[in-house]
Amino acid sequence: DVPLMPAIQRRGNDVMRDGAKIDRYRGHVYGLAIDLGTTTVAANLFDLETGSAIATAAFENPQRFGGSDIMHRISYDGGPHGGELNKVIINALNQEIAVLCENYGFQRREIYEVVVAGNSTMRDMFFKGDVQPIGQRPYKSPIELAFLAGERDSTALVAQARKLGLRTHPKCLVHGLPLIASHVGGDAAASLLALDISPDDDEVTMLVDMGTNTEIV
């Protein structure tokens, strides 16, 4: 059991983030968890007051026209159509958000927090970052390089949803889960967290994420 301690909470008719009011209560306090896979994207809508899952949506990653694998997409993003892969995934997620709103009877402004898990390339591209270094030796994200150089205290990312183009509450924050190293990103980190795998455990455990890229821990 994990105690619920969301940054977003409701106090009476106010929706608060870390003690500061960001909105009036509109009927729901929702969060969106996104698994940004190379081939498939999954989005889970959560009630932040109860921790319960409301809905799940999944669709093929529309970035596939830029290549079926990570290296081809890095190459495509470095060409004359740089930024296009970011735009298509944002547009696809906005369409899914609109469908969820219609199907479950809520407003997009009732989504106050978004968490994104993905490999290093998918995550950094989502946050409009430069992914070219990930495709070249030593195959590391600029975020990881800055962390290793002591310029950052984490490889996690945070951005305002409106600056990314996501149609949620105007003050919604988007959190990119931290990377592990090189191509092993926040999706593997999320799996380890969900399974509560600790290096202090006595038993031997193996985690296999069998996707377009396969990670084994």
pLDDT of residue 194: 85
Give per-residue pLDDT as tens, 27-52. 999 999 999 999 999 999 999 999 99
- CA-to-CA distance for 201 and 159, rounded, in angstroms? 35
pLDDT over threshold 80, residue 199 = no
pLDDT over threshold 80, residue 1 = no
Task: Give the residue from 114, 138, 137 showing the smallest Cα distance to 41.
Answer: 114
**Residues near 20 by beta carbon (within 8 Å), at least 6 away in sequence:** none
Mean of pLDDT over the chain: 92
Give per-residue pLDDT as tens, 113-129. 999 999 999 999 999 99
Neighbours of 65 (CB within 10 A): 12
pLDDT of residue 35: 95
193 falls in which pLDDT band (50, 70, 90)? confident
Structure tokens at 4: 């619920």
pLDDT of residue 119: 92
pLDDT of residue 210: 84
- Mean pLDDT in residue range 4-14: 89
